[in-house]
């Protein structure tokens, strides 16, 4: 790097602190106001714990003091007979147990990305912004006094941290920068550290954020369809619509097609009073109180039609429980699914149907037709992919690259025929990403349109590359899944594998557009040609 981090203490530098939940925002702002400029404050760090997507509320990093992971709990807090109560409700796990588990997973992430942790002491704390006093003995055996940042400690956080950590010789700037980058791959650091790969500091520049803010207001209309290619911000818009509807007091349901996206939505809507899930999950929740059960050995036709038929049959008993319906990935919804949902809207309520969709990603419903009588608005800019990838996505029919997007890693094709060569190319690509670019295992995805190829790779992974299915994802594993299951999701780096030589163009578009900053294509020359990427020589490698 050649120099220490810039003075700015919030990373990403343009992170919108107001987007945080109220208590988390207060804690983050207290740290920004009370710590000197040797500290880096990183909010909302995603982490995989017990095969689930979680989040570390706040990470404080200092080259001379160490690292503090902070779990925030707002509202009234008390410890009664060893049980933590938040606003009089028992917590399943103590906040310290939560953040400690996240700490262990973060260490695994750093090791998978070959990050040097020498002299970077990592500890945990619990922030309680609404608590005025903490007993001298702390809050239970796992939460000593010095690990609690209550209101008095948050007023003077530097003193609180001094009681928790000891100053030491600063870690080298390169080591410090690598650690911060691995915390959140969307962080950009000044200097020369990004020689190969410049991470995108944000998916939205100011002009695009303004555009999305204006589109949020479309939800005051009754029927709205927003269309856009992969990475145009559709899911972000839909989530904001759902939050705004709840804020207006509307009974709201948010739906999508596949479970991975449903899990992502659940995490984004944590604490928001609404129903969310896949179409089938929501239908089952509505039907089960009336005696409906899934039949034995359900077929694809069963999943397509039977729950919809059951919703119609039990319509009188279910009633009209919703005022607003928000649908993400609407191109995966059959017309009779949407009709069955519209029957759930209360005639006396707002009766809103808000849909976002990308017709170019219609895999399951072909041809897809939008609902009738919808106000329509397009999204045109690719906010997800770095420029090198966005250009490939655009050639496949995707949106226009954002002019201000960083270039990212050059897209490469690694030629491979059979599975033996595929494993070598995947091994080389993962080694390059982790050792050269510092990408953790959990931010790499190996995608293929064929479940057979996925199963073979997971059953016999390349040496040193722990491949896992979606259900088993962790900081120690590299996700290996089908393109179809990862629609709507994203990873810092994607390795797209196909040995058929005849990949469906829609699946190619979907798979490639999952990559934020780095993309490798592994397969025969036909794969590179279909994507418009120069063909790599057999046995070529990025390492």
Angstrom distance (rounded) from CA 432 to CA 197: 12
Query: What does the domain layout of the chain look like in residue ranges?
Result: 17-183, 206-382, 409-531
Asked if 292 and 310 touch (Cβ cutoff 8 Å), the reply is: yes
Q: What's the whole-model pTM score?
A: 0.77
- pLDDT tens track for 305-351: 999 999 999 999 999 999 999 999 999 999 999 999 999 999 999 99
CA distance 10 to 381: 27
72 phi and psi angles, rounded to 5 deg: -105, 135
Tell me 195's DSSP state. S
Q: Which of 362-371, 418-427, 466-475, 518-527 has the lowest mean pLDDT?
A: 362-371
* Residue 435, both tokens: 């050792």
Helical H segments across 444-504, by residue range: 451-459
The dihedral through the CA atoms of 266, 268, 270, 271 has a sign that is: negative
Angle between helices 335-342 and 300-313 (to 10 degrees): 20
Residue 472 to residues 104, 259, 441, 486: CA-CA distances in angstroms?
17, 14, 13, 14
The pLDDT score that the predictor gives to residue 9 is 67
Structure letter (DSSP) for residue 532? T
The alpha carbon of 459 is separated from its chain's Cα centroid by a whole number of angstroms, namely 26
Percent of the chain beyond pLDDT 90? 59
Cα 180 to the center of its chain, rounded Å:
18
Same fold, 206-382 and 409-531: yes
- Other residues' Cβ atoms within 10 Å of the Cβ of residue 100: 18
3-state secondary structure of 404: coil
Sign of CA dihedral 147, 150, 153, 154: positive
Closest CA to 71 of 54, 88, 48, 53: 54
Angle at which helices 259-268 and 234-247 cross, to 10° = 50
| pLDDT reported for residue 202 | 42
Q: At what angle do helices 300-313 and 279-287 cross, to 10 degrees?
A: 40
Q: Quick one: how far is CA 488 from the chain centroid?
A: 10
3-state secondary structure of 44: strand
Burial (Cβ within 10 Å: 0-12, 13-18, ≥19) of residue 146: middle
CATH 3.40.50.300 is held by the domain 206-382 = yes
Q: 282: pLDDT confidence band, cut at 50, 70 and 90?
A: very high
301: its two tokens: 């036709």
Give Cα 7 to chain centroid, integer Å.
28
Is it the case that residue 10 has pLDDT exceeding 90?
Answer: no
Model confidence at 267, pLDDT cuts 50, 70, 90, reads confident
pLDDT digits (tens, 9 = 90+) for 166-217: 877 788 888 888 898 888 766 655 443 333 343 443 443 444 566 677 788 8
- pLDDT confidence band for 417 (50 / 70 / 90): confident
Residue 515 three-state SS:
strand
- Candidates 35, 63, 246, 96; CA nearest to 168 is 63
Average pLDDT over residues 108-113: 87
What's the CA gap between 96 and 148, in Å, rounded? 9
Predicted pLDDT of residue 268? 85
Least confident of 151-155, 175-179, 272-276, 524-528: 175-179
> Is the model more confident about 543 or about 420?
420
Q: Whole-angstrom Cα distance, residue 223 to residue 169?
A: 60
pLDDT band at 8 (very low <50, low <70, confident <90, very high): very low
Q: Which fold has domain 409-531?
A: Rossmann fold (3.40.50)
Q: Encode 248-297 in three state secondary structure.
A: CCCCEEEEECCHHHHHHHHHHCCCCCCEEEEHHHHHHHHHHHHCCCCCCC
Task: Please answer whether residues 120 and 182 qualify as being in contact, where contact means their C-beta atoms are separated by less than 8 angstroms.
Answer: no
Token code pair at residue 408:
């990212």
CA distance 233 to 203: 9
């Amino acid at each position: 790097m050649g120099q220490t981090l810039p003075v700015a203490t919030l990373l990403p530098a343009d992170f919108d602190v107001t987007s945080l939940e109220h208590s988390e925002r207060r804690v983050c702002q207290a740290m920004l106001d009370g710590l000197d400029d040797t500290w880096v404050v990183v909010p909302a760090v995603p982490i995989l714990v017990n095969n689930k997507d979680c989040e570390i509320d706040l990470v404080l990093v200092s080259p001379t003091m160490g690292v503090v992971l902070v779990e925030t709990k707002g509202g009234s807090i008390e410890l009664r007979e060893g049980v933590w109560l938040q606003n009089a409700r028992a917590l399943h796990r103590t906040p310290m147990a939560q953040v400690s588990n996240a700490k262990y997973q973060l260490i695994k992430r750093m090791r998978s990305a070959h990050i040097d942790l020498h002299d970077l002491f990592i500890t945990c704390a619990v922030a309680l912004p609404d608590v005025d006093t903490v007993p001298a003995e702390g809050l239970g055996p796992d939460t000593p006094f010095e690990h609690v940042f209550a209101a008095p400690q948050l007023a003077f956080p530097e003193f609180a941290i001094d009681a928790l950590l000891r100053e030491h010789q600063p870690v080298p700037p390169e080591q410090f920068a690598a650690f911060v980058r691995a915390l959140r791959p969307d962080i950009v650091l000044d200097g020369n550290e990004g020689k190969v790969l410049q991470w995108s500091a944000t998916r939205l520049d100011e002009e695009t954020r303004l555009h999305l803010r204006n589109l949020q207001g479309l939800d005051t209309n009754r029927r709205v369809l927003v269309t856009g290619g992969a990475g145009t911000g559709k899911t972000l818009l839909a989530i904001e619509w759902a939050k705004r509807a709840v804020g207006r007091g509307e009974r709201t349901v948010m739906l999508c097609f596949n479970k991975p996206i449903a899990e992502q939505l659940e995490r984004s809507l944590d604490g928001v009073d609404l129903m969310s899930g896949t179409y089938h999950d929501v239908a089952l929740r509505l039907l089960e109180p009336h005696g409906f059960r899934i039949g034995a050995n359900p077929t694809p036709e069963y999943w397509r039609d039977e729950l919809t038929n059951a919703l119609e049959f039990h319509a009188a008993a279910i009633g009209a429980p919703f005022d607003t319906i928000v649908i993400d990935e609407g191109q995966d919804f059959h017309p009779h699914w949407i009709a069955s949902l519209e029957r759930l809207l209360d005639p006396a309520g707002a009766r809103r149907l808000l849909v976002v969709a990308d017709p170019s990603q219609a895999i399951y419903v072909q041809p897809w037709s939008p609902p009738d009588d919808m106000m329509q608005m397009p999204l045109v800019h690719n906010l997800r992919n770095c420029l090198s990838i966005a250009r490939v996505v655009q050639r496949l029919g995707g949106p226009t690259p954002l002019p201000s997007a960083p270039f990212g890693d050059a897209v490469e094709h690694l030629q491979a025929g059979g599975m033996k060569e595929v494993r070598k190319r995947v091994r080389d690509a993962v080694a390059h990403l982790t050792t050269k670019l510092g990408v953790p295992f959990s931010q790499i995805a190996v995608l293929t349109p064929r479940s057979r190829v996925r199963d073979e790779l997971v059953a016999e992974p390349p040496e040193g590359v722990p491949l896992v299915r979606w259900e088993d994802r962790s900081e120690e594993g590299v996700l290996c899944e089908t393109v179809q299951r990862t629609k709507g999701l994203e990873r810092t780096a994607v390795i797209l594998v196909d040995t058929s030589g005849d990949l469906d163009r829609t699946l190619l578009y979907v798979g490639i557009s999952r990559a934020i900053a780095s993309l490798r294509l592994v397969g025969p020359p036909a794969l590179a040609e279909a994507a418009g990427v120069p063909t790599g020589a057999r046995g070529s490698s990025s390492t």
